[in-house]
Every structure is written in C-alpha cells, then in structure tokens.
Amino acid sequence: MKRAILAIAIAALGLSLAAGAFAAGEVKNPEQRSWSWDGVFGKFDRSQLQRGYQVYKEVCAACHALQYVNFRNLTEIGFSDGQAKALAASYEVDDGPNDEGEMFKRPGRLADPLPKPFANEKAARAANNGALPPNLSLITKARHDGPNYLYSLMIGYGQPPAGVKLGEGMNYNPYFSGNQIAMAPPLADGAVQYGDNTQATVKQMAEDVTAFLTWAAEPSLEARKRLGFKVMIFLLVMTGLFIAAKQRVWRDLH
C-alpha cells in the first residue's frame, strides 16, 4: 500500500516537473540531437568550439553581443595566450578618461569583454528594423532545450506554408515562437572559411556555433561534470558505509 503511494507520488511528481516546461502554440519542437557535452562524461570538442567562435565572430557578432565572455576566456577553448592577445588587439576599445580627462581608443587586451556591436538598445533596434538582437552569452540556458533549439533555429528557415502571411521584413521559421523571426537566415554554405578544412555547410556551422554558445553560457560545464563524478562516487561509498554502520548498530537490538 505504502509502496503504491510512493510510486504514484514519484511518478506524478515527475509528471508535474515535466509539465513545468510550457508548450505554447504550434511552434515546432526542436530537432533532438546528441552533443559532445551530453551525459555524465560530456566534454566540449576544442576545435569545434574554435570553429564556433569563428562563426560567431564573422557572422553573429555583427548584431549579437556576448557580454559575459572576455578575450582571456578564449584560452579556455584552446587558443594560446598569444592568439587570444592578438585577437583582442585586433579590436579598438574605448577607454578613459586619461590624465587630461579625455576618452581614448586603445587596442583590446585579454581582460576586455568581447566588443558589443551596438552602443545601446536603441541603436540596435534602429539598425534591425525595430527588432532587438538578444545577447547571446546565456542563450542556450535562456531557452527551453537550448542547444537543440538554437541548432534547429539556425537550420530551420524556409518558405512559409500557403496561407501564412509574414510581416514586413520578417522571415519564416517554424521553431521560433510565432513562426516569424526578424533575423534573416544568418548562415549560408561557405559563409566562413574554416582553417581546418572542415566543410562550412549550414549544418556544420550551426552545430559549431551551438557548441560555442553552449560553452559561453556554461563555461564550467566540463569542470562540473568532472567534479560531479568524483563526488557521486564518494557519496555512493559513503552511503554504503552508512548502511553497513546502521545495520551493525541495529543488529544487536531485540
């Protein structure tokens, strides 16, 4: 009886947790893919992250900021100190005021965040037909089923089905809420030239940039899973010892 209650409770709890994820309208569910960082031992693929950074830098960065990533963080995805410094120095950054009270420009440093494409929200909207390109530093955590959603969105553009009227300057994408998105299809075959001879197909670039943005949203993911495995092993052993100790203490009772 009590076991039945427990089973019902656990099953229903699981249901209610799953129900917490909302389902709104006729938005297409993202394509379910397996990613290198899935699972207990999941890891990022460094060369994929670097390709993803290249896609971000050459395509997305024209409109989307990545405010929580600094140039120094790029060493975490396999760039050397020198490479990250050179990347930083290729940007002009506002600094100041200097001793004369003037703002000035200087080459970027490792400590600088990646530069923002627009000075403020108004400027971003003015340049994008009124739409605001979201900051991408947390995007895979800020959307339900983030990585799959992002990937599906990148490759999901298409012709609207008959009867669907698009707004002015809007594009059809079944994965986007409302199926109309202001962003034009960002990727086209060969949009970037990969240094490692990987074919820059739309799917490849979508996959790479999804990996990069997943890392950007959760740079501690690998450390978390590594530490987690050790902690879980420790806790399993500890719980086993607790059970044994409890049995021993209770054995002499009655």
Partner 1 sequence: MSEMQLKNPMLRWIEYRLPIFSFIDHSVGSQYPAPKNLSYWWNFGSLAGIALVMQIATGIVLAMHYTPHADMAFDSVERIMREVNYGWLLRYFHANGASLFFLVVYIHIFRGLYYGSYKYPRELLWWLGLVIFVLMMATAFMGYVLPWGQMSYWAATVITNLFSAIPWIGVGITEWLWGGFTVGNPTLARFYSLHYLLPFVIVGVVFLHLWALHQHKSNNPLGIDIKGPQDTIPFHPYYTYKDLVGLGVFLLVMFGFVFYHPNYMGHPDNYIPANPLQTPAHIVPEWYFLPFYAILRAIPSKLGGVIAMAASILVLFLIPWLDTSRVRSTKFRPVYRWFFVFLVIDVILLGIVGAKPPEGIWILIGRLATLYYFLHFIIFMPFLGWFERPLPVPDSIHQPVLGAAAGAAAAGENKR
The binding site for partner 1 (CB under 8 A) comprises 1-2, 4-5, 8-9, 12-13, 15-17, 19-20, 22, 24, 40, 68, 134, 137-138, 141-144, 146, 177, 217, 219-220, 223-225, 227-229, 231-232, 235-236, 238-239, 242-243, 245-246, 249-250, 253-254
3-state secondary structure the chain: CHHHHHHHHHHHHHHHHHHCCCCCCCCCCCCCCCCCCCCCCCCCCHHHHHHHHHHHHHCHHHCCCCCCCEHHHHHHHCCCHHHHHHHHHCCEEEECCCCCCCCEEEECCCCCECCCCCCCHHHHHHHCCCCCCCCCCCCCCCCCCHHHHHHHHHHCCCCCCCCCCCCCCCEECCCCCCCEECCCCCCCCCCCCCCCCCCCCHHHHHHHHHHHHHHHHCCCHHHHHHHHHHHHHHHHHHHHHHHHHHHHHHHCCC
- Write down the least CB distance from residue 78 to partner 1, Å: 18
Nearest to partner 1 of 174, 185 (CB atom) = 174
In whole angstroms, how close is the CB of 178 to partner 1 at the nearest point? Answer: 10
Query: Cβ closer to partner 1: 162 or 253?
Result: 253
Shortest separation between residue 68's beta carbon and partner 1, angstroms? 5
Q: Is the CB of 98 or the CB of 177 nearer to partner 1?
A: 177
Between 28 and 105, whose beta carbon lies closer to partner 1? 28
Residue whose CB is less far from partner 1, 41 or 104: 41
